[in-house]
Each structure stands twice: as structure tokens, then as C-alpha cells.
Amino acid sequence: MEVQDTNSCFNSDSIRVIKNDLPEFSLGPDQQICEGNVVQLEIDNPADSINWFNDLGEQLLDTTAILNFEVNQNQTWWAEQWNASSCVFTDTVQITHIPLPVFNAGDSILICEEAEVQLNPVGINENWTFEWSPANFLSDASSANPMANPEEDTWFFLEVQNEEGCVYTDSVFVGLDQPLILDAGQDRTICLDDITELGGAPTAVGSNFPYQYEWSPAETLNDPNVANPIANPSETTTYQLITWAGNCKADTAEVTVSVQLPPEITLTADTTIGAGDAIQLLASGGRFYQWKPERGLSDATIANPIANPTRTTTYTVEVLDSLGCLAEKEMTIFVENQLFIPNLFTPNNDGQNDFFKVYGAGIKQIEFKVFTRGGKLLYSTNSVEEAYGEGWDGKYNGNLVESGVYVWSIKGEYFDERPLSFNGQQSGLINLMR
């Protein structure tokens, strides 16, 4: 460069300019990538310093020439490269995110043996391509909705590819229901009028479908459509059970309930004895015996006890056979000396139970009294006939007494000179109810 001033003086100088090459590189063309795939960006001619930036302008920590990332959205990536001469070069690439062909292969399916079922994935597009596996149990492995007839429990996998070539896979389980195993219960014998529960514990196993039951004959069952009905047959009966689960093949089973008639009892006839006498009773027809009441018996658990009741007594004998079937029969021993005093009377002039009186036989003398619970005498008689026939009418001095509990007392003797008592007591309580 030359410079001349006004005096025509000259001077010159020079500068040298050196051109440095840019650290050029290429990230390649924009790309369309399926969701979830990993993209690798590479600077093909790396220099001294590399910086990567995302589409938000944020600088990444990675400063290598290769950047790997998973695609889950549309993104723009750019990189800058510096050389030793502080020259910089940048390039960008647009990554377009392609959604996967997401769908649901369906819920698990349970089918009967030798049955088939249509597979019905949800959320599919008719423009997609389909590939099911394993294919040997399917009507068409390339169909969206093939028929499946597996011979065992099977997971079916469906791989779908959309128009852009993105692939998504899901699976569905098809299980085979197991054969039914039925237990109608063991044959058994019951007593007449007894009940028994049919079926097993459980009655049906094997299937995962809900069970349905049908017992017959139904007339002697409380519910013929449950697993364990209660049976009350009046004669020996064979019950048939038909059971099925879902729409699968039914199975049958049987159980026989034999009915044992109650034992036939032979028993001593009604008889009369005097006070203090004894008699041997005799029952037959069973294996075990129980007499009631036990009062006045030598042994209430044998077939032929000695009876010595102090008053007329009706004995009931319960007889069990070897199966435990029960029958009962009764007989009465009439005793000459008898006494009964009720605990309730209702003097309301309705003609029923209007008087409180003594019921008995063989009474020679009597003193029959009624008191308030405070000890006030309301009624008294020394007449056997009055005590038997009329008794107390529920009045005191001609006036009605209130409903409530009163005290009675009795003294006297039978014709055999035994003292009077009722249930071993010479006093007790009487309820007056109007």
C-alpha cells in the first residue's frame, strides 16, 4: 500500500492475509425414524472441538463426533465444529418422529377343549400388515382376526407393521379349560326323615369357568341347582348329577341314598299299680334304649328296667338301631296316689281354668291354702272335695284380687298314710292372670 502526502512524499507498507479452510462436515439428510429407535448422528470429518445442541438450543455434555439418542418426538439437532484456527462450521438435521402402530392384542381367553376362538386385537388399522405366531394353530397368520384352535395353552404374538415400516408387537394368551372331575359323594344310608348333603368337597373341579349343576330327581332336594343340595328322601333314591362349565361338554355322576326305616318297638302295655308297688317294663326292637323320665326307674338305659313311680307316669322309650335310626313309644303307669297343682290359672269367667284347685287321687286329708307373698291368707279349705272340685276363685272377701304371683301351701296324707307333697314340695307359687 502506497501513501502520498501534499508534499508529494511517498511511503508504502504491506499485510499478508492467510485464508484458513473451514472445518466442514455433514450430518446427513433429514430423517424419518420410528418411535423408540436409536439414531446415530456422526460428524464425518471431526476437528479440534465439537459441540452438540438440541432444538431448544441447549448444549449437550457430549463432545464426541458420534451422538446416539432414542427418538420419541420430532427434533432438530445441530452441531458446531471448531478447528485450531478458531474457524467454526455448523450443520443441522431434522429428525421426524413416526408413531408406532400401537394396539392391544386382547385380554386372555379361556376356551373349551377342541374349541376354537377368533382373535380380536383392538386398535388396529386395515392398512397395516399382520403376522401372527405360532402360525400352526391359526386359520390365517396374516389376518388381523384369525381363528385359533390350540391344542394346549398358547401365547399368540402379533407383529404389526404400518405404512412407514414401523413395527409393534403384542401378545394374547389362549388357555384350554381342563376336563371336569365330578364327585357326587359316597353312597350312604340314612334314617327315615333324616337329611343328608349330596356332592363332594368340592363337587366339581378342573374348569376355570363357573359351574352349573342339575340334580335329579329334584322333588326331595332343597335346591337341585347347587353343588351340595340337602336331600330328604322317603325311600331309597339314586340321584344323578349333570354338571357343565361355561359352554363346555357336560359330565355326569351318581350317588345312592338308602333309607332305613325306624326300628319297630314292642312295649309293655299301660298298667295300673298301687302306691309303693313296682313293675318291670319291657321294650324290644332296637340296640340302645333310653327311658324318660328317669324318675322311678332302676336303670333308664336298659330294655327292661324296674319302675316304681310314686304317681301316675307316662314313660317314653327312645330306641336306636345299629345305624342310629330312632323311634319312640310311650306307655303309662297309673298310680293310685296322685297329686298335681298347676302354676297358672285365669279366673276370667270364660269357663276355662277359672279356678285354682288340686288335681289328684287317693288323697285322704288335705289343708289347702293360698297367701299373698307377704303372708296374708286369701283362701283356705280342709275339704278334699272343695280342693278337687272348686278351689280358689281368685277372690278375697268377694273382691277380685289383682293378677300376680301368690303362694300356696298344702298339708295332709294319702289313704296309705303318706304325706301330701307336690314334686316333693308342700308350698309353691301360683300365677294368677286375668
> What integer is the mean pLDDT of 9-18?
77
The 10 Å Cβ neighbour count of residue 279 is: 15
Question: In the prediction, which pLDDT does 31 show?
Answer: 92
**Which of the pair, 18 or 80, is modelled with greater confidence?**
80
Question: In the prediction, which pLDDT does 4 show?
Answer: 78
Distance (Å) of CA 139 to CA 144, 366, 373: 11, 106, 97
The 10 Å Cβ neighbour count of residue 1 is: 7
Across all residues in the chain, what is the average pLDDT?
A: 91
Percent with pLDDT over 70 in the chain = 99
Cβ atoms of 289 and 283 within 8 Å: the answer is yes
The pLDDT tens digits of the residues spanning 24-34 come to 888 889 999 99
Its sign, for the CA torsion 339, 344, 349, 351, is: negative
Question: In the prediction, which pLDDT does 170 show?
Answer: 96
Based on DSSP, count helices (H) and strands (E) in the chain, helices before strands.
1, 39
Is residue 126 over pLDDT 70? yes
DSSP 3-state assignment of 389? helix
The residues with which 124 forms a beta bridge, in sequence order, are: none
Is residue 8 over pLDDT 90? no
In the block, residue with C-alpha cell 438435521: 93
Cβ atoms of 103 and 127 within 8 Å: the answer is no
Q: Which of 32-46, 51-65, 118-132, 189-203 has the lowest mean pLDDT?
A: 51-65
The pLDDT tens digits of the residues spanning 153-163 come to 999 999 999 99
Peptide bond into 202 cis (omega under 30): yes
- Give dist(CA 283, CA 286) in Å, integer: 9
- Give dist(CA 377, CA 368) in Å, integer: 11
**Residue 387, H or E segment:** helix 384-389
Task: For residue 94, name the pLDDT band (cuts at 50, 70, 90).
Answer: very high
The pLDDT tens digits of the residues spanning 265-323 come to 999 999 877 666 688 999 999 999 999 999 999 999 999 999 988 778 999 999 999 88
Q: Domains plus CATH for the chain?
A: 31-98 (2.60.40.10), 109-176 (2.60.40.1080), 181-260 (2.60.40.10), 266-334 (2.60.40.10), 338-432 (2.60.40)
Determine if the pTM surpasses 0.85: no
Question: In the prediction, which pLDDT does 55 show?
Answer: 80
- Give dist(CA 200, CA 194) in Å, integer: 19
Q: Which residues are within 8 A (CB) of 344 and not within 5 positions of it... i.e. 6 or more apart?
A: 353, 430, 431, 432, 433
Per-residue exposure over 43-52, b if at least 16 CB sit within 10 Å of its own CB, e if not: beeebeebeb
Question: In the prediction, which pLDDT does 318 show?
Answer: 96
The residues with which 403 forms a beta bridge, in sequence order, are: none
Q: Which of 46-55, 112-121, 217-226 has the lowest mean pLDDT?
A: 46-55
- Give dist(CA 315, CA 289) in Å, integer: 12
The pLDDT tens digits of the residues spanning 168-191 come to 999 999 999 988 999 999 999 999
The pLDDT tens digits of the residues spanning 54-71 come to 888 888 878 888 989 888
Cβ atoms of 97 and 74 within 8 Å: the answer is yes
Question: In the prediction, which pLDDT does 278 show?
Answer: 81
In the block, residue with C-alpha cell 332336594: 221
Cβ atoms of 171 and 103 within 8 Å: the answer is no
The pLDDT tens digits of the residues spanning 401-420 come to 999 999 999 999 987 788 99
> Which one, of 293, 195, 181, lies nearest residue 237 by Cα?
195
- Give dist(CA 186, CA 258) in Å, integer: 11
